[in-house]
Amino acid sequence: MAIDFDLIRDRRNSDSLKWSESRANQVIPMWVADMDFASPECVLRALKERVEHGVFGYPAVTDAVTQSVIDWAASHYGWQIEAKWLVWLPGLVSGIHLACQALADDGEEVVTLVPAYPPFLAAPRATGRGLKTVGLAQDSGRWTLDLDALSSAITPRTKCLIFCNPHNPVGRVFGREELAAVAEVCQRHGLAVCSDEIHCDLALKPGVHVPFATLGAEVADRTVTLMSPSKTFNLSGLGCGFAVIPNQDLRRRFRRAASELVPLPNVLGLIACRAAFAEGEPWRLELIEYLRGNRDLLEAYFREHLPQFSVSHVEGTYLAWIDARRFRGQDAMRFFESAGLRLSDGRLFQGEGFVRLNFGCPRSTLQDALERISAAVSKLESK
Ligand SMILES: Cc1ncc(COP(=O)(O)O)c(C=O)c1O
């Protein structure tokens, strides 16, 4: 059945973080990373049935939801996960903080690559760990890993790399060889890895995502992988994710950091997760097709009509990382706001002069946004 991703759903007055501030001034919100699409019918059905039951006591993680994760990882990534490797989480930001605590000791260092999802920058400091940042490089406009810089930044106090693939915000899906090179650096320096793969099911080319932990037994042994159905199936408001930790000692440390502090996902999150992984694949395939169309529209539009900016090719996620540094010395955020858009400020990611645009929306909304940018550029240039 074709799914109508073109349908505009009014998200104002729907308890949405993304849309709550845009009511007054008609700005199109394209910042926080959720999509303006309804979740798959199979998820809605499972949630309705559970709500009908009417009793919402403490949840149990059922064999069915665990099996749905195991089957999803096996069928999508050829990754054979064992049930005992899973640690359930109400959200992956909690997982990033727990990883900092479990993979480095107080006063030791965590390293990450910038630009970075802002909690990667906040979590080490919040947990009393030092933070080292290493810039991603650009090769003819394509974002790449600078492994020499990574190696040089590592000190004897550095214990953990927080890594993101597919990458938020630059949109790269790092390939097997790139990942193997990162793994080699981590191995050489004895670093554990927190691999945040929340966007893995949104690689826009089928079959390209490689879970870091599948590179080999030694790599799996030093890796905490964070995954979730929340980006793929637009379930962020239901708070459900998990860490996959094959190594028993790392798992024990991670669980100890979570103990009594981080609860299980709520019961509706678990229900939605099972339904999405067990039955949501046809919906996901259509979503990927639609997002690819949005990505192509956005990239072509910038190329043809907005050469003042450059947008690196988005290989995964629905987030475009826009370089506004050449744009007449304007403050990028202020410019886009004046155009009628709310984007994410690159400075939050250590990406000065960049903005992040969320194109997980109906195509007509994206078209409207692009035309608003064009009109604002023309207005500015005619002054
Ligand atoms: C890389 C990355 N990790 C984690 C999260 C947030 O995860 P959660 O909503 O499960 O806390 C996001 C959300 O945008 C993300 O992009």
Asked whether residue 55 falls in the same domain as residue 119, the answer is yes
Cβ–Cβ < 8 Å for 5, 365: no
Ligand 1, atom 13: nearest CA belongs to which residue?
Answer: 33
Asked whether residue 231 falls in the same domain as residue 321, the answer is no
The CA-to-CA distance between both ends of the chain, in Å, stands at 50
Q: Which residue from 47, 17, 20, 13 is spatially nearest to 34, judged by alpha carbons?
A: 17
Q: Which helix (H) or strand (E) holds 66?
A: helix 63-77
pLDDT at 164: 98
Q: What is the pLDDT of residues 71-118, one digit of tens each?
A: 999 999 999 999 999 999 999 999 999 999 999 999 999 999 999 999
Return d(Cα 73, Cα 95) in angstroms, integer: 19
Asked whether residue 221 falls in the same domain as residue 289, the answer is no
92 Cα to the center of ligand 1, angstroms: 6
113 Cα to the center of ligand 1, angstroms: 16
DSSP single-letter state for residue 373 = H
Asked whether residue 57 falls in the same domain as residue 177, the answer is yes
Asked whether residue 33 falls in the same domain as residue 94, the answer is no
Return d(Cα 4, Cα 115) in angstroms, integer: 34
Q: Which domain holds residue 147?
A: 44-279
Residue 11 lies in a domain: no
Tell me, using a 6 A CB cutoff, whether residue 112 lines ligand 1: no
**Ligand 1: which of 117, 200, 225, 344 to mutate, judged by most atoms within 8 Å of the beta carbon?**
117
Residue 371 lies in a domain: yes
Q: Quick one: the chain helix, strand, coil %, rounded to 5?
A: 45, 15, 40
Question: Which CATH number is 314's domain given?
Answer: 3.90.1150.10
**Pair type for strands 354-358 and 344-345:** antiparallel
Asked whether residue 212 falls in the same domain as residue 75, the answer is yes
Residue 2 lies in a domain: no
pLDDT at 25: 66
CA neighbours within 13 Å on the CB side: how many for 169?
Answer: 31
Q: Which of 248, 279, 310 is the last residue of a domain?
A: 279
Question: What are the beta bridge partners of residue 87?
Answer: 243
DSSP single-letter state for residue 307 = T
How many structural domains is the chain composed of?
A: 2
Contacts of 134 (CB under 8 A, 6+ apart): 111, 112, 113, 114, 146, 149, 150, 153
Question: What integer is the mean pLDDT of 196-209?
Answer: 96
Asked whether residue 327 falls in the same domain as residue 252, the answer is no
Tell me, using a 6 A CB cutoff, whether residue 166 lines ligand 1: no
Question: Which CATH number is 60's domain given?
Answer: 3.40.640.10
One-letter amino acid at 14 equals: S
Asked whether residue 217 falls in the same domain as residue 121, the answer is yes
pLDDT at 289: 98
pLDDT at 41: 97
Q: Which of 1-10, 89-98, 124-133, 199-208 has the lowest mean pLDDT?
A: 1-10
Tell me, using a 6 A CB cutoff, whether residue 361 lines ligand 1: no
Q: Which two tokens stand for residue 245?
A: 């930790």
Q: Which of 279, 310, 345 is the last residue of a domain?
A: 279
Residue 1 lies in a domain: no
Asked whether residue 27 falls in the same domain as residue 71, the answer is no
**Ligand 1: which of 231, 235, 270, 314 to mutate, judged by most atoms within 8 Å of the beta carbon?**
231
Looking at the CA of residue 33, tell me the nearest atom of ligand 1: 14
Asked whether residue 173 falls in the same domain as residue 305, the answer is no
Asked whether residue 266 falls in the same domain as residue 286, the answer is no
Asked whether residue 229 falls in the same domain as residue 308, the answer is no
Q: Which two tokens stand for residue 80?
A: 């054979």
pLDDT at 186: 98
